Amino acid sequence: MATLTEITPTEEKSGIKTYLPRIIIALVVLVGGYFGYKAFVHSQQYETTDNAQIEGNSAPVLARVAGYITSVNVDDYAIVKRGQPLVTIDPQEYDVALAQVEADYQQSLADLATAHADLQTALATVRNVAQNARVAQSTAQVQAVRRDKARQDLQRDQNLYKEQSLTKKQLDDSQNNVDVQAGQYNSNVEQINLAKTSEGVAQAGIVRAKANIQKIQAVLKVKQAAIDNAKLRVGYARLAAPIAGKIGRKNVVVGQYVQPGQNLFTIVADSTFWVVANFKETQLEKMQLGQTVDIKLDAYPDVDIKGRVASLSDATGARFALLPADNASGNFVKITQRVPVKIEILNPEKYKNQLRAGLSVDAEVRVAN
């Protein structure tokens, strides 16, 4: 009859200690294998990167004229609407400049009115000279008839004198009449010539008046441009929001002197955000437009944001660097390049309170179903 072997408690504990490490290793292998398998399956379906940031539209508010700040109507990080008054630069200097150019413009308008009056005077002078020329021409024609008649009378009286039918005195009177009529005719001819000369002078006056008008009109255009420029500068003294959004940190206070081009603050549009994710070039093989994207904010890890691939850059990020690498320089080292991918955020208004331009995110693009 077989004898049963009795296992003592000490031997039982020793056996458990012998197999426990194996059991733990087996569990670790199983758990590691499970998570490894899940990671492998996930890597086949998703391309991920943590080299990504939220981007948004922004517009700097720049001073366009120099001067002292007289008022600042917003606070740091305030929400503003497009066209809302923000900052006022002391406009007195620019108001005075505008008043001066407007006064110069009015003076030129008065000069233009005078030039038009001079033109009308010149035109009237031409008409009067032309009328005088016509009168002188008519008078000369009448005087020519009288001169010819006096010559005929003289010829007849000379014949009568030869026949002794006329006295010497009567012949002398006829000769004197011819001389008088000829003199008057010559005087009328000189008046005609004088009228023609006066007409030329009057025509020159018209040309001069028209040239003066054109000159003043050109001056008016220049002064109108000066007025428009002065009005712009007056308008530039009052800065308004170029876009709607939220103001960043202010760089201006009342009493500060600013220069043209100085950045006073920046407005970030809070209605449009997107993600720019930089993927390795080896991750782009299966990536296509319209693929869904899971977005995780480092600042809000519990917020699940959905997006889709909107576009892929046609150049790597290195191509946009200030000093792009030159692979022909002889010291080439192959480095995996990254390509910017723009990701559109779906329903961005839902995450308006969480989205901030510049926040770091993790992006997972689903490249396989």
Q: What is the tens place of the pLDDT at every residue in 208-227? A: 888 999 999 999 999 999 99
Pick from 343, 258, 262: nearest CA to 306: 343
From 266, 252, 262, 260, select the one nearest 69 (Cα to Cα).
252
The 3-state DSSP class for residue 261 equals coil
Q: For position 1, what pLDDT does the model report?
A: 41
pLDDT reported for residue 99: 95
297: nearest Cα among 239, 241, 243, 359: 359
pLDDT reported for residue 269: 84
324-353 b/e with 16+ CB inside 10 Å = b? eeeeeeeeeeeeebbbbbbbbbeebeebee
pLDDT at 2: 46
pLDDT on residue 362: 93
- In the predicted model, residues of the chain with pLDDT beneath 70 are 1-19, 37-43, 322-332, 369
Kindly give the residue spans of alpha helices, DSSP state H, lying in the chain: 9-45, 92-162, 168-236
- Per DSSP, 318 falls in state G
Distances (CA, A) of 72 to 65, 89, 113: 16, 9, 46
Q: Which pLDDT value is given to residue 348?
A: 84
| pLDDT at residue 42, rounded to an integer | 62
∠ Cα 235 97 103 (to 5°): 115
Q: What is the pTM assigned to this prediction?
A: 0.61
